[in-house]
Homo-oligomer: A and B are copies of this chain.
Amino acid sequence: MKIAVDGMGGDYAPQAIVEGAVLAAQELNVDIILVGHEARLERELDRLQAHKLPISICHASEVVYMDEAPGMALRRKRFSSIRVATELVRSGGAQAVVSAGNTGAALAASTMILKPIKGIDRPAIATLLPTQKGSAILLDGGANVDCKASQLFQFGIMGHVFAKSVFHKPSPAVGLLAIGEEDSKGNEVTKEAFMLFKHSDLNFLGNVEGKHFFQGMADVVVCDGFIGNVTLKMCEGLADMYGQALKTSLTASPWRRLAAWLLRSALTEIRQRVDASEYGGMPLIGVNGTCIIAHGSSTPKAIKNAIHMAKRLAEEQVTERIQEDLERNSDILDVDDNRRSKLWRQIRSHMSFRGEREVDDAASEPHDELPSSHIPLL
């Protein structure tokens, strides 16, 4: 198993990346191809005395930096490390690619070079998050901003296959992120997607509310990339606020600092329980090849974990399995979008929606339950 690692992408590249690659080569039984500036990568390998490990270097003279516009940079920089690394997967020189660099560039490279799987419009970013029961996948995490119902359905299939691989469950439960559990709750796109899921052979749970995500109600939760990205970042912000509040309160006096020191093992335990960085990377699924996007600020350990995930997904042939699942559900997706929209409108007009439609359009679809502005902490 050969894995191409973008040696130049990430806030701490190439040091942290090469260190992570060395850890992976030592522990994971993989061959690593470090892609990037040869001399700089050599220097890092020298520093780590890692020349006996199964690590080779593939030279790439350019780098797409974090603040560059992805599409533009990718087009201009034909010899950028992310582009060369992705080309390695296309040519069969590697079985997977891992990058902690510019996410947009990694996404664009995989879409342009590896191309979406037949039947998939665009790839999605699958995000593994901790839940009260273990972990769950939210997708799309931000690759696709405006999605059609058929795309949400494709995300469901991709998430289902990915979940089978990472959770080792025969039939992972798939839910649709919405504002209420009833079938009729959602926006126009999710309501239409609901019908597609309902007629598929997936283990479809129905609508899942935000608060149920962290309760671990579903293995896979589907939403469009705008909602996924906004939501994930809101959660990141909230977690950060909690962390700050804890820090401020627990260090406010010498007495509290002492008590907090006594509780340090408990605090570490909590961090481990709710921190997702252990997963190391997010797969970009739906293209012909395995791509893992690692966070820009990845530590060597996170890079090693990302390589581990890449190895696992490549071994379990997630791409091929998505193709199979798509074929099995092709009749649902074959109906073209316009016809399905029409169909859905017809179905809807026959559904009574509990007779509310007649009252007042403005008042007919408020949802019953409000999010609590009350955020319980303890």
Contacts and interface: CB of A to CB of B under 8 A. Distances in A.
Nearest to A185: B145
Contacts of A269: 249, 252
A234 interface: yes
Interface of A: 66-72, 74-75, 102-105, 107-109, 111-112, 116, 122, 125, 127-132, 141-143, 145-146, 177-179, 186-188, 190, 209-215, 223-250, 252, 255-256, 259-260, 262-263, 266-267, 269-271, 273-277, 279, 282, 293, 295-297, 354-356, 358-360, 362-378
Nearest to A223: B230
A124 to B, nearest CB: 11
Contacts of A279: 373
Number of copies of this protein chain within its complex:
2
**Interface residue SS majority, chain A:** helix
A363 B266 contact: no
Which 4 A-B pairs have CB atoms at the shortest separation, nearest pair first? Answer: A210-B233, A232-B371, A108-B363, A210-B234
B266 A373 contact: no
Given A245-B273, A245-B274, A371 B132 contact: no
Contacts of A237: 210-215
A215 B234 CA distance: 10
Contact of A127 (B107, B141, B355, B373): B373
B103 A368 contact: yes
A52 to B, nearest CB: 32
A103 B372 CA distance: 11
Contact of A369 (B103, B178, B211, B228): B103
